[in-house]
Amino acid sequence: MEIQFVIDQLEEVAQKIISANPNKVILFHGEMGVGKTTLIKQLCKVLGVKSATSSPTFSLVNEYEATNNQLVYHFDFYRLNQETEALDMGIDDYLYSGNWCFIEWAEKIPNLIPEAHSTISISILDDGKRSLTLN
């Protein structure tokens, strides 16, 4: 799926992503400031998360409860130095839990990503719109 959008259309974009039935482990790729965290916040909202969401840059993972007692995990591995740090925090338990796992900076843990995952790539176009690809 490929979408071009402006930030005001994020709710619609998030609904399209969830409706596309992606794998529950989703890797987010894009330059810093492109809107990965903002999109993840909107995905959480679409999934029924009522609590405030924020970037887990320092904690590495935030956990949210969505509707139907579903759990959503949001990872930010930007500050990770080695894959072993992710193993030490129990990343396997999260990734194979069957819950939603949204992962920013997944390139820091390439050997730990489950085979069954989806990828969202976001870039900013010259006109300021975002281009999103879901694979």
Q: Where are the domains of the chain?
A: 2-134
pLDDT in the model for residue 69: 87
- Tens of pLDDT along the chain (135 residues) come to 999 999 899 999 999 999 999 999 999 999 999 999 999 999 999 999 987 776 766 578 999 999 888 999 999 999 999 999 999 999 999 999 999 999 999 999 999 999 999 999 999 999 999 999 999
What is the DSSP track for 43-100?
HHHHTT--S-----TTTSEEEEE-GGG-EEEEEE-TT---HHHHHHTTHHHHHTSSSE
Distance of CA 65 to the CA centre of its chain: 15
pLDDT in the model for residue 131: 98
pLDDT in the model for residue 24: 97
**The amino acid at 27:** L
The fold adopted by the segment(s) 2-134 is Rossmann fold (3.40.50)
DSSP state of 33: T
DSSP state of 114: -
